[in-house]
């Protein structure tokens, strides 16, 4: 039985805290919450379920958005129509990044921000992220383009940063000549 997650709104001060490292083994409750987040994010990207359960589409979620001050992120990436790849990373760290910067042409959104925010968020086009899986095994992900943006967005949540904090107040938008928009 699917049960919608209770995602904090941007006004909640808990979203501005720096999250604590996770120690292993992780609890059964955390593992269940990770699975619920995967289900929520997957359903939110499938139109039929999005409507049925009144979900806002999203591909990523960080534990602080659920009111839990721990360094856990979940990303559900639709790699093909109806085919998803799940990324669960505990204590993630960006260990390398490209020089090239990109921005999502339509701007970024967030499940904790229930309003339109205009502006481009500059992100690295490619990142390598290291962390741990649910069982405490070391993992490494090389992410490009949209997946790279998602990892950076979710890791920002762990550091109390919301995407709109990164929009340049003096220059909200960039042209194709200035930055590669995807």
Chain segment 115-170, per-residue pLDDT in tens: 999 999 999 999 999 999 999 999 999 999 999 999 999 999 999 999 999 999 99
Is residue 1's pLDDT more than 90? Answer: no
Residue 20 in tokens: 């604590």
70 phi/psi in degrees, rounded to 5: -130, 150
Domain with residue 148: its CATH number is 3.90.45.10
Is 2 a member of any domain?
no
- Residue 30 CA to its chain's centroid (Å): 17
Is 169 a member of any domain?
yes
- The per-residue pLDDT for range 14-73, each reduced to its tens digit, is 999 999 999 999 999 999 999 999 999 999 999 999 999 999 999 999 999 999 999 999
Is 25 a member of any domain?
yes
Q: Can you give the pLDDT at residue 178?
A: 92
For the purposes of burial, counting CB atoms within 10 Å of the CB of 47, is it exposed (0-12), middle (13-18) or buried (19 or more)? exposed
How many whole angstroms separate alpha carbon 131 and alpha carbon 119? 30
Other C-beta atoms within 10 Å of 23: how many?
10
**What are the start-end ranges of the E strands in the chain?**
60-62, 72-80, 83-97, 101-103, 123-124, 126-132, 138-144, 180-181
Is 3 a member of any domain?
no
- The per-residue pLDDT for range 18-35, each reduced to its tens digit, is 999 999 999 999 999 999
- The per-residue pLDDT for range 76-103, each reduced to its tens digit, is 999 999 999 999 999 999 999 999 999 9
The structural domain count of the chain equals 1
Is 20 a member of any domain?
yes
Which residue range(s) make up the domain with 106? 13-181
Is 6 a member of any domain?
no
How many whole angstroms separate alpha carbon 147 and alpha carbon 173? 21
Is 67 a member of any domain?
yes
Is 4 a member of any domain?
no
Residues, the chain, total?
182
Other C-beta atoms within 10 Å of 150: how many?
22
Residue 106 in tokens: 């339509």
Residue 97 in tokens: 């990044």
How many whole angstroms separate alpha carbon 96 and alpha carbon 89? 16
Tell me if residue 154 is catalytic: yes
Catalytic site residue from 21, 50, 154, 178: 154
Q: Can you give the pLDDT at residue 81?
A: 93
Nearest Cα residue to 158 out of 89, 84, 77 = 89
């Amino acid at each position: 039985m699917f049960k919608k997650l209770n995602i904090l709104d941007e006004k909640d001060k808990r979203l501005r805290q720096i999250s604590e490292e996770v120690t292993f083994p992780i609890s059964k409750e955390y593992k269940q919450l990770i699975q619920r987040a995967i289900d929520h994010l997957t359903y939110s990207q499938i139109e039929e379920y999005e409507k049925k359960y009144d979900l806002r589409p999203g591909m990523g979620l960080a534990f602080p958005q659920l009111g839990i001050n721990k360094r856990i992120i979940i990303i559900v990436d639709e790699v093909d129509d109806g085919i998803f790849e799940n990324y669960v990373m505990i204590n993630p760290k960006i260990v390398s990044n490209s020089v090239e910067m990109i921005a999502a042409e339509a701007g970024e959104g967030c499940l904790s921000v229930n309003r339109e925010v205009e502006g481009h968020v500059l992100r690295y086009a490619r990142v390598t992220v290291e962390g741990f899986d649910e069982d405490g095994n070391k993992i490494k992900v090389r992410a490009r383009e949209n997946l790279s943006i998602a990892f950076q967005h979710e890791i920002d949540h762990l550091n109390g940063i919301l995407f709109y904090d990164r929009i340049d107040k003096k220059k909200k938008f960039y042209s194709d000549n200035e930055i590669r928009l995807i």
